Structure 1
Amino acid sequence: MDTPSLDIQIKTLPSSPGVYQYYDKDNKLLYIGKAKNLKKRVSSYFTKHHDSYRINVLVKKINTIKHIVVETETDALLLENNLIKKHQPRFNVMLKDDKTYPWICIKKERFPRVFLTRNLIKDGSEYFGPYTSVKTVHTLLELIKGLYPIRTCNYDLSPHKIQNGKYKVCLEYHLGNCLGPCEDMQSEEAYINNIEAIRQIIKGNFKESLHQFWKQMMLHSENMEFEEAQQIKEKIDVLKNYQARSTIVNPKINNVDVFSIISDESYGYVNFLQLSHGSIIRSHTMEIKKKLSESDKELLELSIIEIRQRFNSRSKEIFSSIKVNVGDTIKVTVPQLGDKKKIVDLSVRNAKYYRQERFKQIKITDPDRHVNRLLAQIKKDLRLPVTPTHIECFDNSNIQGTNPVAACVVFKNAKPSKKDYRKFNIKTVEGPNDFASMEEVVYRRYKRLLDEEQPLPQLIIVDGGKGQLSSGLKALETLGLRGKITIIGIAKRLEEIYYPGDSIPLYLDKKSESLKVIQHLRNEAHRFGITFHRQKRSKAALNTELENIPGIGEKTVVELLKHFRSLAVIKKASKEELSEVIGNSKALKVYNYYLSKKE
């Protein structure tokens, strides 16, 4: 696949947080950076004047821009750190492997301690983080300490040592920060319940803690223990005001490959994330052209083998968005919840962004391919027998039942063909009747096309639900076109798509390109119809008032409007001014008519 120009690569970047990577013409990694807004940050390299000689040299060498999308700016900072350590690009500041971020550890021991650490030890303890700020960790630990009394000593609190009275309570007990498990003043069960609550708070789940505190507060209140109830209320307020920020890294996820796939009619897009010690160290997305309508499973299995060989991956576990079979020696998991599911969702998001980026690039560099792909997608989504290169959409306009009109807009190759748009004055229907009006205009449109031997569309869309669709279908049946042209209706409220003879509507994904084309057609028909309706209504209002003047006919009205341009100017015109246009006799009639209205 040819690399698009830098300009196109920059224009098609997402405006999301993430990490960007610059490569030279030999595909050598030059620089890794983080951004709150990828498009804005990367663009700044190419639009600003840089005083730094080093940055100017870097910009001249850039040939390819790759990126990884993440949830937050904090995640981008962490990911940038991981990738720089792994790849050590030439233009980045070198990061030493011992530069680490702080974590919160729940120690694996009887009566577990909760503390800040920078070292991850594989002893079964739980680690949460990393956090980009030590201040954030201290704030969270202070919150926990204020809510749940836990020990800070590093004693071995084994049952026999406690029973033998080996330890004595310390100052923390007397300050109320510890309940004295070292002297058997707190049961292990009660302590572990507190640790579980702390674990949920660190994860950002406060629901259970709030519920327990609420029960305690109500109990104190019922027992008239208002001071204790107030203390619990303060803890509830603290919890409600605190919000924990999750990160993309989990130290338990080690030496794992993550794969996901999304696809359309012609191509599949496979994203690969490589994880080591809980950190993302590589991201790569591959585009695969379909040859024989291969399934996502087939494409993903082929891609996993290819990508793992290319990057020499030896991990024994794969997280995937769908179930695949890549051999008995590799464990494949399709996560449904938790951190594993989050990392797969991140992979899917990156595949989607890559696909959108490719669409934008193709739209600029290869518009024919873009149109063919889009039409193929519409054909698939709407279950059409043929590719809809010619689509027509109808809309009725009769505000307050006056001046009923209709509009027909035409799209060819998924783009408006404005020279083919048509307006209709409703002729056979009395009063506001959308169904009868729809039947009339559909009949008139295709009767004319048949009479003139013009090409018919492959798809007709009527703006409305089952009633309008039935009326359009009736007109086609009268013309002998039922079954020869697909006709569907789109209802505005929930964007339901109705088919003849099917009471259950089709719902397309709100972000699907097919729905966007249909909405564009519907909105364009509505705009075109409303514009025509307003013109007709305005003209009718003007004509009615002038023609109501005795002795003034249609020809005189046209002359007046042609000269004075508006009714407001005619009302203010003098007898002399009117006489110059329509003569003394008629001018007097018009002048006297408006003069009498002023009195």
Structure 2
Amino acid sequence: MTEPFNPKPILKNLPNLPGVYRMKNASDEVIYVGKAKDLKKRVSSYFNKNLPSPRTRMMVAQIVDIETTVTHTEAEALLLENNLIKSFMPRYNVLFRDDKTYPYISLTGDEYPRLAFHRGTQRKGNTYFGPFPNSIAVRESIQLLQKVFMLRTCENTVFANRTRPCLQFQIERCTAPCVGFISEEDYRRDVSHATMFLQGKEQQVMDELGEKMMKAAETEAYELAAVYRDRMQSLRQVQAKQFVSDFAVNDADVIACVSHEGQHCVNLVMIRGGRHLGDKSFFPKNADGGELEDTMRAFLEQYYVSQKVPPLMIVGVPIETEALEEVFTEQAGRKVRINTNPVGDKRVWMKMAETNAELALQQRSAQHSNQQARLLALREALDLGDSVERIECFDISHTMGEATVASCVVFDKGAMQNSEYRRYNITGITPGDDYAAMRDALTRRYKKVAAGEGKRPDLVFIDGGKGQLGVAVEVMQEVGLADILLVGIAKGEERRPGLEQMFFPDRDSPVGLKKDHIGLHLLQQIRDEAHRFAITGHRARRAKARMHSSLEDIDGIGAKRRKALLVRFGGLDGVKNASVDELSQVEGISQMLAEKIYQELH
């Protein structure tokens, strides 16, 4: 029998200094990472007789070792703690999804700056505004900026090779700097106005536009005056709809945290440039039954270390903010304040965020309950057994054998698990052989599962009839997973929903369910998701292959001429839309070859 863990020798030698501690279990697995202003005092507190939280008591019961790292400051400890949490993903830490790909609006550093949607690493020389809660908010803002300030959005390869204005100029969404319809000075002024707008300086923009409108009217340039008037009207509409009046700064985040039936949700409301951009809800892992303060602290630490920090954060849960403010101030290069006691309109915004979080939790709970009911009904109807929780489904997609792609989608824990989806590009088979494609995909996936890589499913759905199911049975026997349940799903007559039939390896006749059976609805959802995921991958692969080969297949077009054509017209679509005369103007393309290219592409 293993002796109980004795923390006294470790606690005795701990310093009264800031740092990070790591709790380990008998498997040498890090189960918790924490930071402390005083390591000795904080770590010792876990071994008091009366721990208030059952979750903490459960964690402490598993500790067999404690490792510590001393840091210079508590702020430094916070950064180290966050990095260790991302590395170890401890089961007793509250974990938020590490999403570094929040969208931004960018203005490029080109001679004529381009307005663009941006995700990922930010490049030197460009100006970025955000982050935004989702891509819809970015695209709506870009459309608004196009309408008001008429900045270009085209890629540089297209911009550099235009000989006439594009459709954006015709619908008054761009001033066509590509063909010199606006001077560099005037375009720069529009860029400056757009920048001020994104920074929340709308009134300054309005004043400048008003002044220019009056000057244009005085010189009888009434068409120009009308342009400035229309821009002012558009800006007034935006101000009336989105402007936030009670904030001393233009950029702020309102962060609420609520619980419902033991589940936690953090709602983040983003205000940028004095405008409400929208909100986003986050659902942490390992927070069940924990304190809201722990969840809020974990969110702030994990989210803002990799994001642009606003000067003001309004937080709906009372937490210690000194160390966080120190880290965020150093990170942002300016003062950052965290307000945990909002009043006035700020309190109204906080209430709105809390309501959003409560609604998100209720919807998530209702959806989970509904899915659990569907799963229970499917188990009973097909006699699958109570142990079926994780379901994987496979589908094959191709166009007459071209660009075959297999998909695998996963249903687990009462929901579709998007991050666990996989696609398999199928090669080396007879085009159109769905059996061979299914064999390839199943073998590649379940060889790894049999070797201990990845999670083992309780049930595998195969989109197809007896033939595809027979292939699946053979593959599972070959890889040593013959005990996994397999079911084939065949579409009914005329491929109409509700007429599906399920085939089992050990049953002579197929099983059908009524159209309104909720278990069938879950099966259809999983099957349709597998089909969607497969066909999306297939279309992307097919488009890539066709774009790559359409010019290569033309005699007389080598790598050099192909590159010249794509650069000149900004891509394959531009080449397809070009006339014979335009094609012949490209270096190395004769009139005869231009006619040949045009005929081949049309």
TM-score greater than 0.5 by the shorter chain = no
Larger radius of gyration: 1
TM-score scaled to structure 1, two decimals?
0.35
